[in-house]
Amino acid sequence: MKKHFDPDAAASEGSGIYGLPFTPDEAKVVIIPVPFEATTSYGGGTSRGPAAVFEASKQVDLLDHETGRPYEAGIAMLPIPRKVVNWNAKAKKSGRKRVRAINAISESVNNWVYETTRDLLHAGKMPVVLGGDHSVPFGAICAYGERYPHMGILHLDAHCDLRDSYEGFTYSHASIFHNVIMRTRLRKLVQVGVRDVGSREIRLIDNSFGRIRTFFDDELAARKEQGVPWGDIAEEIVDELPYDVYLSWDIDGLDPTLCPGTGTPVPGGLSWNEAIGLLRAILRAKKRIVGLDLCEVAPGRTEWDANVGARLLYKMIGFALATQ
C-alpha cells in the first residue's frame, strides 16, 4: 500500500478507480474498459458504462465488511481505449443492416480483449472486463480458458444469451454463450436469474449433456415461496461449478430497480443480497474465483445504475481476492 494514502478520505483529484493511487503496473486487479455496444437490440448506453462506473466508484467506501480491504491488493483501470471507442462509433454509423461490417468490427474487439487479457494474465494480474454490452467478454473468456482449462462460468443474467446469432450478428450480446459453448472447451456453464429464453436456447440446454445448467428465475421464486432458504439454493447452484470459477455477470440479472437504465431490463431477478449470497456460497464452498466481467451497466437518467455497478464490481473483486 502506498505511503500517505488514506482509505477513509475522499477520492483525490486525478485518482484512479475507487479513488485509488495504483497504476496498472502496480495493481493486482486490472480493469479493462470495453465501451462497445454495437449489437444492442433494445436500449442503448452501455458504451458509456465504463466511464460512468469509474466516476461512481469514487463514492464507494473501501473497507468492505465481508471481504476486508480488497483495495490493498491494488485495483486499477486501464484508460478508455480510443480504438474501441472508434470501432463502436464506426459500427453504429454503419447501420444495423450492414451485418458483415459489424461482425468484422466485433471480431476486432474480441481479438483486442483476448490479447489484452492474455498479456495481463501472463504478467500475473487478474484482468476484469467492464462492458459495454455482453458481447465484449468473449475474448477474455477465451484467454481465461487457456489459463484455467477446467474452469466453469457462473453466469448471472435475465437472458440465456445462447442464440446462435441475433439480428444477423455472430457476436451479439444475445449469443455470447452460444459462442463460448461452441468455440471453446468450457467445462460448465451455470446460469442464474434467467427469465427470457427462446425455444432454440431451451433445446441447446436440454441437449448439452449437462454442460449447461440453467436456474430459471421462476423456479427460484417458486422454491423461495415454499420456504427454501436462499443460502441453500445458492449452495446448490455453486455445487454445479468446478473448483475454478469465472463470473460473467450482466447487471440485468438483478431486479431492474437496481439497474433501470440497462439495455434490456426484465421484471424479476435477484435482489442485491441474493446476488452477493452467490459470492458468499462460492467462498463457503472453498472454490476459487479466477476472473470476472461485469456488463450492461448503462448510466441512465441518474447516477443510480453506475452507483450499483461500481459497488457490485467492488464486491465481485473482493470475493474473488478472498477466494485466492
Rounded to whole angstroms, how far apart are CA atoms 51 and 302? 14
Q: How many CB atoms lie within 10 A of CB 12?
A: 13
Per-residue pLDDT of 220-249, as tens digits, reads: 999 999 999 999 999 999 999 999 999 999
The number of residues making up the chain comes to 324
Q: Which three cell numbers stand for residue 206?
A: 436440454
Answer yes or no: is pLDDT of 251 > 80.
yes
Rounded to whole angstroms, how far apart are CA atoms 134 and 132? 7
Rounded to whole angstroms, how far apart are CA atoms 233 and 252? 20
Answer yes or no: is pLDDT of 197 > 90.
yes
pLDDT value at position 194?
98
Answer yes or no: is pLDDT of 39 > 80.
no
Rg (CA), the chain: 18
Per-residue pLDDT of 164-179, as tens digits, reads: 876 777 888 789 999 9
Answer yes or no: is pLDDT of 43 > 60.
no
The structural domains of the chain, ordered by start, are: 17-322 (3.40.800.10)
Per-residue pLDDT of 286-318, as tens digits, reads: 999 999 999 999 998 889 999 999 999 999 999
Q: Which three cell numbers stand for residue 141?
A: 473468456
Split at pLDDT 50, 70, 90, the class of 97 is: low
Answer yes or no: is pLDDT of 265 > 70.
yes
Residues contacting residue 232 through CB under 8 Å, at least 6 positions apart: none
Rounded to whole angstroms, how far apart are CA atoms 302 and 316? 23
pLDDT value at position 196?
94
Answer yes or no: is pLDDT of 99 > 90.
no
List C-alpha distances in Å: 257 to 129, 225, 272.
Answer: 24, 21, 10
